[in-house]
Amino acid sequence: MSETARSLLNSAGLLAATLGLASGLIWLERRLLALWQDRYGPNRVGPFGLLQVLADMIKIFFKEDWIPPFADRPVFVMAPAVIIISVLMSFAVVPAAPGIGVVDLNVGLLFFLAMSSMGAYSVVLAGWASNNKYSLLGGLRSAAQMLSYEVFMGLSLMGVVVLAGSFNLREIVLAQRRIWFVVPQFLGFVVFLIAGLAETHRLPFDLPEADSELIAGFHSEYSGMKFGMFFVGEYLGVILISALISVLFLGGWMGPLLPPLAWFLVKTLFFICLFILFRAALPRPRFDQLMGFGWKAMLPLSLLNLMATAAVVLWIGGPR
Amino acid sequence: MNALFYISAAIAVFSTVMVITRTNAVHALLYFIVSLLSVAVIFAVLGAPFVAALEVIVYAGAIMVLFVFVVMLLNVGADSTEQERMLLIPRVWIVPAVLSLVLAAELGYALSRGSPVIHESHRVDPKTVGIALFGPYVLGVELASILLLAGLVGAYHLGRREWRRRERSESRP
């Protein structure tokens, strides 16, 4: 197979897999939440309610796509596309298995951080362009939240970079041949998990769209497929963070018996379910608690982790 | 490589012109982000992917989000756009246009004397940047960190005073 054909096939496969998984997650999340809350969840349409996704998709495509007259039209239309594009771009650097993955970038980890900071604009601009006070409050909250959680999201990953001696995600996976980084970098793992939750604004950190205070926050004015794109973008973000956790801390595709791709998918799916469990189990903090927790607990922890890791690596002598 | 460079350079110039001619602050900021992204592409094309990534993370990702945050906090409406439009009358364009023309003429002269070759001379990887920063340029790094520390102390001071005053007024019977 020629190089071009291979990369085209990889890109198309990645697109189909991520978008398919993201829409499948709607069903998975509702079923799992129902399971943990002792009820049934969607179980009417098709076997186990699996076709519920299809029904929802048909519904959302045929809804009226309403742009409020007071909104800033170009920005309002552009905002939902930004989150989808930035998350899908990040997937390009994620190595799923040997030979599977779109690009092999030597600054892959930085590319992910850059794209995730671009994704923040989507929510902020949606909140601003809606020209509605609840949306604006949601957008403001999200700008502050994303900015502060990005800081130690990056810092928590630097311990992994120091141990692996590379920003390349493939080399980071290969550096975990002896031991998964979740063991020496447990602190970094916890901080990254929390920062990832905040970046995708999933439930314990969903202050930008806190329904009880802000109606639906930044996407109050959105309807139809534009709302759907925010929804899919959030699920894509969850998949991305889960995939990255398994690549950075759990040895990616490596594992006994099963083929590499299966290991990668199992690990990713485990973290996706963990994210849904967080949503089912945790209450939402107040906004000042969220910011205080970020700057007073997470930032010192990640700095401490980075300095300790660097000191130990220097003591032992160079990255392995 | 050359085509990539010229395309992203053209986008950078166009979006920067749009930044200064927009009357709506958020639209201007959006064009500025596009301009920064195209400069990042130029860095990547010239063989400095690390600097390109930092450009996106630090400038387009962090600093511009702060700008957008402040603009949203002020919530400037239609009247400020109107005010901006009144400021941007043709008369104010004369001096900047002359200055830019001088620069453009210099650039044209430099190009006519021999076109600079754009090629990937050597890749600047993270390690090279780190060695440069903590080797010959360590003084600059230290000065920047002192500046940042001053900013941090200032912000802490401002926040603290507000907090003290509120506490005092609350404790008053």
CA distance B60 to B46: 19
**Structure confidence at residue B144 (pLDDT):** 92
CA distance A221 to A64: 12
Whether the predicted pLDDT of B59 surpasses 70: yes
Give B89's pLDDT tier (boundaries 50, 70, 90): confident
**Structure confidence at residue B142 (pLDDT):** 92
Tell me which residue in A110, A117, A167 faces B62 most closely, judged by beta carbons: A117
| A132 and A222 Cβ atoms separated by less than 8 Å | no
Whether the predicted pLDDT of B150 surpasses 90: yes
Stated length of chain A: 320
pLDDT tens-digit map of A221-250: 887 788 888 888 888 889 999 999 988 888
Reduced 3-state DSSP string for A272-311: HHHHHHHHHHCCCCCHHHHHHHHHHHHHHHHHHHHHHHHH
Lowest mean pLDDT among A199-203, B6-10, B40-44: A199-203
Range A55-61 average pLDDT: 85
CA distance B156 to B171: 22
Tell me which residue in B57, B65, B73 faces A114 most closely, judged by beta carbons: B57
The single-letter code of the amino acid at B128 is T
The single-letter code of the amino acid at A130 is S
**Structure confidence at residue A22 (pLDDT):** 85
Chain A residues closer than 8 Å to B126 by CB? 107, 167
The half-sphere exposure of B85 on its side-chain side, counting CA atoms within 13 A, is 7
Tell me which residue in A114, A117, A143 faces B68 most closely, judged by beta carbons: A143
pLDDT tens-digit map of A187-220: 888 889 988 888 887 777 777 776 677 777 777 7
pLDDT tens-digit map of A134-165: 888 888 888 888 888 888 888 888 888 888 88
Interface test with B, best of A82, A93, A103, A107 (most B CBs within 10 A): A107
CA distance A18 to A88: 8
- The tokens 């930004």 sit on which residue? A82
CA distance A136 to A71: 12
Chain A residues closer than 8 Å to B49 by CB? 105-107
E-only strand ranges, A23-178:
none
At residue A305, what are phi and psi to the nearest 5 degrees? -60, -45
CA distance B58 to B64: 9
CA torsion through residues A87, A89, A95, A99, sign: positive
**Residue A89, number of CB atoms within 10 A of its CB:** 17
For residue B172, the SS3 value is coil
Q: Which residues pair with A100 in a beta bridge?
A: A97
For residue A100, the SS3 value is strand
| B118 and B1 Cβ atoms separated by less than 8 Å | yes
Assessment of whether the complete model's pTM goes beyond 0.80: yes
Q: Which residues pair with A127 in a beta bridge?
A: none
For residue A97, the SS3 value is strand
Work out the minimum CA distance from B63 to partner chain A, whole angstroms: 9
Maximum C-alpha span of chain B: 79
Residues from A contacting B (CB-CB < 8 Å) are: 72, 74-75, 105-107, 110-111, 113-114, 117-118, 120-121, 124-125, 127-128, 136, 139-140, 143-144, 146-147, 150, 154, 167
Q: Which residues contact A136 (CB under 8 A, 6 or more apart)?
A: A127, A128, A130, B72, B75
ipTM of the complex: 0.80
- The overall average pLDDT reported for chain B is 80
**Structure confidence at residue B166 (pLDDT):** 59
